[in-house]
């Protein structure tokens, strides 16, 4: 009995130590402020207040991804913010709130998105793209990034460009970089680098048809009510792609928490073929879409999501 008690105490202590190690941020407050100043200098971003550390947060419900947020300005009136990765000391986020506010005020644009915005002419897409690519060169994007698209958001008055991360020609599901500029003049307003994945084996042994079949079985399991199960064939495959994912299934059950180990997986998306059919939607308990992921090498279920 005494040995068992000591063993339990040892396990508890090990868990506590492991959690503490996960929570350690390798970037000191002083370093974070120095990195912030260096980034702003490189990107020619001006500010009038001394940067200070606001908080340290988790990214995407993954304990080993922590960021230190540095802000400029007073509490409740931040002029800009910079996010520093706690592990590699890299700037992974930037938002210039002051610039955005100044542009809105200059052109008398309401911050209430329910009111129509009467913006002056925006930069053409080709010009905005040139400006954004110039900013990307200054920041220094990794070589494994592939330009995806550029889009205009008329409500916020921004051009936003996105790059997707790749490995061995396969795209990471949720790893990307975005750069935003104000659409009226091309001024740099925000940047974000969201990397969760790691290089992993890219062997494909499971055919797409097999993954689709397994996914359909799992859709059936989610349709708990017998009335809903009759509508299994009302879900159609919208896409079936190989992507590098972060598993979020534990013991075969989907969770909101993601594992750090990446896997190449078949990502299968099923959606109702007629979302306008009210009776159909009610019968399936408003479950519009399912996403299931299967390890491309083993066929093991590694995660997914569903929408209501």
Mean per-residue pLDDT of the chain? 89
Distance CA 247, CA 304 (A): 8
Residue 14 has pLDDT above 90, yes or no: no
Q: CA torsion 259→262→266→269, rounded to 10°?
A: 50
Q: Is the pLDDT of residue 70 over 70?
A: yes
pLDDT value for 59 = 57
Stated pTM of the model: 0.84
* Beta bridge partners of residue 73, listed in sequence order: 78
Task: Summarize pLDDT for 236-247 with one digit per residue, the tens.
Answer: 999 999 999 999
| Distance between CA atoms of residues 171 and 254, nearest Å | 22
């Amino acid at each position: 009995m005494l040995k068992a008690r000591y063993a339990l105490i040892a396990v508890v202590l090990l868990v506590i130590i492991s959690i503490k190690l996960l929570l350690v941020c390798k970037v000191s407050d002083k370093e974070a402020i120095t990195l912030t100043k260096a980034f702003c200098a490189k990107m020619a971003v001006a500010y009038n207040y001394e940067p200070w550390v606001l908080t340290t947060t988790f990214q995407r419900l993954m304990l080993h991804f922590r960021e230190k947020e540095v802000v400029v300005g007073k509490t409740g009136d931040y002029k800009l913010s910079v996010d520093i990765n706690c592990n590699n000391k890299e700037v992974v986020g930037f938002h210039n709130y002051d610039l955005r506010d100044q542009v809105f005020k200059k052109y008398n644009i309401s911050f209430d998105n329910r009111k129509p915005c009467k913006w002056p002419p925006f930069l053409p897409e080709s010009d905005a793209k040139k400006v954004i690519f110039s900013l990307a060169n200054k920041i220094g994007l990794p070589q494994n990034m592939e330009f995806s698209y550029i889009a205009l958001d008329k409500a916020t008055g921004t051009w936003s460009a996105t790059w997707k991360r790749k490995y061995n020609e396969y795209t990471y599901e949720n790893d990307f970089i975005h750069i935003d500029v104000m659409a009226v003049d091309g001024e740099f307003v925000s940047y974000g680098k969201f990397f969760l994945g790691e290089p992993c084996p890219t062997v494909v042994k499971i055919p797409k048809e097999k993954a689709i079949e397994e996914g359909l079985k799992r859709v059936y399991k989610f349709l708990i009510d017998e009335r809903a199960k009759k509508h299994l064939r009302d879900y159609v495959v919208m896409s079936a792609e190989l992507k590098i994912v972060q598993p979020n299934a534990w013991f075969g059950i989907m969770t909101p928490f993601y594992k750090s180990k990446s896997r190449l997986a078949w990502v299968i998306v099923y959606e109702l073929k007629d979302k306008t059919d009210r009776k159909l939607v009610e019968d399936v308990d408003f479950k519009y879409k399912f996403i299931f992921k299967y390890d491309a090498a083993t066929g093991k279920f590694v995660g997914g999501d569903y929408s209501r």
